[in-house]
Amino acid sequence: MSVIDLRPGEKGYIDTILGNEKLCKRLLALGCIEGTKITFKNSAPLGDPVIINVRGFDLAIRKKDASNIKLKED
Amino acid sequence: MKTVALIGNPNVGKTTLFNSLTGSNQYVGNWAGVTVEKKEGYLDKSIKIIDLPGIYAMDTFSNEEKVAKNFLLHESVDLIVNIVDASNLERNLYLTTQLKQFKKPIVLVLNMMDVAESKKININIDKLSKELKMFIIPISASKGTGLEHIREFLLRNDFFKLPIDNEFQFQNFNSEKETYKYIEEILDKSITYSSNDIISTKDTIDGILLNKFFAYPIFFSIMYLIFKFTFSWVGQPLADLLDEGLQNVLIPNLNTLLQNSSPWFKSLLIDGIVGGVGSIIVFLPVILSLFLGISFLEDSGYMARAAFLMDRVMRKMGLSGKAFIPLVVGFGCSVPAIMSTRTLESEKDRKLAALIIPLMSCNARLPVYALFASIFFKGKETIVVFSLYLLGIIVAFIIGLLFKNTIFKKDEEPFIIELPEYKMPEPQNLALHTWDKGKGFLKKAGTIILSISVIVWFLSNFNFNGMTEINNSLFAAIGKALTPIFKPLGFGSWEASVSLLTGLMAKEVVVSTMGVIFGANLDALLPKYFTQLSSYSFLVFVLLYTPCITSIATMKKEYGNKMAIFSLLYQFLLAWIVAFIVFNLGSLILS
């Protein structure tokens, strides 16, 4: 599952980041690395983009990109 | 002269620190080859401070990062001042670990100590300094505390004595994961959190401003306020006042003063130079008021939310959500709109938005629509004018899609933006930013506009035999030569092409030129030259053709010669094609 499968307010732990190199590099530099806690905060009123929270700050990111943030299944 | 490089993540108070250190002693320019803003200022005669772009890392391929990296690698930097958000050290120190690899004297400025405190984050500064092997100065820039320590430190001018952590290069990080692990270990030793459940004011405000039902009404109200502030309440009235002063005070007085000098000199001074200067300074109040509004949105933290809210819509034309604002401003005037594209995140967004903006029908085009609609479309004026505005938007969408998939294809950047904490913008930051924009416009665009004004004045007042009426001028000769180009669009008279040519000065000039060359009674005369269909085709052409010289000059100032020339040519071609389709399809249907 990916971060967009979470319900608003729900938390998960990052497993891996897929997608192109630009996206990966950017997310990794922002601290989206394996084992990091990530919260799905909310969707925009039109459903896309979404807000996620990692390491204490909010990021707006498009659904298409966020779906590349895969979570650990437990 | 010592060079100090100021660097840090976005939204950490870097600009506030830069402004407080340099005051008004700062200059805004461009980094060579890219559209990234370059700011430098002076603390005193011996210390120059370069404000590098706000970035999160050095290696994720954005232009901002390349600029910062090249500067640190290739320029002689005497000190790196790395400013970080004390309330969010984990992510901020990531950049720090990359900065340390440059092996230059470096000082860590812990900003927002007050915020960290209110979040109950206790930072053991000595411990942190020891672990990171860095000199640390804690401050709260927005409160003004600690700034004097930085100033003193810099003025002491002995930062070459700072120890350089040479061992750091052996900290070989193979991945972001290892870097973050290193940071986490350091922070574990130097930071304690005394409370976990803090109610964030950000979440409360976001709950309203990003609310499913309120978000868009609030967003459009804010847009409306800024538009009104710029074009109805403050900017435009001031511009009109300046214009009136010019027309009613300066020009009559100059006329009296120069009554004994030769007519060509009088005309050069009054029509050429004063006219040119006038057309520059009347833009100033509009630019200043708009940027006051935009800086307010930017500094308060709302701009990131606007980008978030509009992303879904703007993405369709290849732009990010933030680009909505410059496009809306374009309905008032393309000049400040093009300038405001500089606030967009990526190079592609900035350039694409700047190219599309002139397709939004600006205020100056309205007098032309109004004149033709009142003559050729009596009783249907509103729908005709509205159709032109709509056509502009539709064409903008198509062009956006086209450019996105052709010239900007390789520049696609992922859309990831931080939604920062809300804060009250600081007056000094607002004033400096607004003034920078005005100053830049006067200096860079002003000189070009003035010289073109004089050339246009010469062309429209002279021919090879000396001074003459516009009907016999060099401009008229050029217009006559251009006539065949416009014939397939339905308006093949030289009067029409000369009007369009003078319209390059400012679109509303099309109307006044027609007044001059046709003589007084346009109502009776225009129908002899235009049919209903060809008048609409003419309006479509006016809507889309080459932007006025002030816009072109602004484009050149912001994005260089290539973009300016491209904009000039592509819009001419675009206008021709669309007007051709309108006229010929119309003829087909009507026949």
Could you tell me if B80 and B106 are in contact, meaning their C-beta atoms sit under 8 angstroms apart?
yes
* CB contact (8 A) between residue B307 and residue A65: no
Count how many Cα atoms sit within 13 Å of the Cα of residue B489 in the half-sphere of its side chain: 28
Partner residue facing B90 (CB), from A22, A31, A49: A31
Q: Could you tell me if B56 lies within 8 Å of chain A, comparing CB atoms?
A: yes
Provide the residue range defining the domain that includes A19: 3-71
- Chain B residues touching residue A55 (CB < 8 angstroms): 88, 90-91
Query: Which residue of chain B comes nearest to A22, CA vs CA?
Result: B60
**Residue B297 to residue B144: CA distance in whole angstroms:** 22
Phi, psi of B558 (to 5 degrees): -80, -40
Q: Which two tokens stand for residue B443?
A: 């200096």
Q: Could you tell me if B216 lies within 8 Å of chain A, comparing CB atoms?
A: yes
Q: Could you tell me if A9 lies within 8 Å of chain B, comparing CB atoms?
A: no
* CB contact (8 A) between residue A65 and residue B212: no
Mutation to test the A interface, candidates B69, B85, B416, B419, most A Cβ within 10 Å: B416
Q: What is the pLDDT of residue B227?
A: 87
Mutation to test the A interface, candidates B201, B312, B313, B411, most A Cβ within 10 Å: B312
* CB contact (8 A) between residue B415 and residue A49: yes
Q: Which two tokens stand for residue A58?
A: 């909010």
* CB contact (8 A) between residue B311 and residue A25: no
* CB contact (8 A) between residue A31 and residue B312: no
- Please report where in the chains the tokens 């393309």 appear, as a residue: B334
> DSSP state, B16?
H
Kindly provide the ipTM of the predicted complex, given to two decimals. 0.96
**Residue B360 to residue B334: CA distance in whole angstroms:** 8
3-class state of residue B492 by DSSP = coil
Residues in chain B: 591
Q: What is the pLDDT of residue B159?
A: 80
**Residue B279 to residue B266: CA distance in whole angstroms:** 18
Residue ranges for chain B with pLDDT beneath 70: 169-171, 195-199, 519-520
Radius of gyration (C-alpha) of chain A in whole angstroms: 11
Q: Could you tell me if B57 lies within 8 Å of chain A, comparing CB atoms?
A: yes
- Chain B residues touching residue A23 (CB < 8 angstroms): 414, 416
- Chain A residues touching residue B177 (CB < 8 angstroms): 28, 33-34
Q: What is the pLDDT of residue B119?
A: 87
Contacts of B241 (CB under 8 A, 6+ apart): none
Q: Could you tell me if A22 lies within 8 Å of chain B, comparing CB atoms?
A: yes
- Going from N- to C-terminal start, the domains of chain B cover 2-193, 456-590
Q: Could you tell me if A3 lies within 8 Å of chain B, comparing CB atoms?
A: no
CATH number attached to the domain at B2-193: 3.40.50.300
Helices (H), B441-521: 446-461, 474-486, 494-502, 509-518
CATH number of the domain residue A22 falls in: 2.30.30.90
**Residue B563 to residue B567: CA distance in whole angstroms:** 6
Query: Which residue of chain A comes nearest to B214, CA vs CA?
Result: A45
Three-class SS string for B2-39? EEEEEEECCCCCHHHHHHHHHCCCEEEEECCCCCCEEE
Q: What is the pLDDT of residue B321?
A: 87
Query: Which residue of chain A comes nearest to B413, CA vs CA?
Result: A22
Strand-pairing partners, residue A38, are A12, A54
- Chain B residues touching residue A48 (CB < 8 angstroms): 311-312
* Structural domain count of chain A: 1
Q: Are strands B79-85 and B2-8 parallel, antiparallel or unpaired?
A: parallel
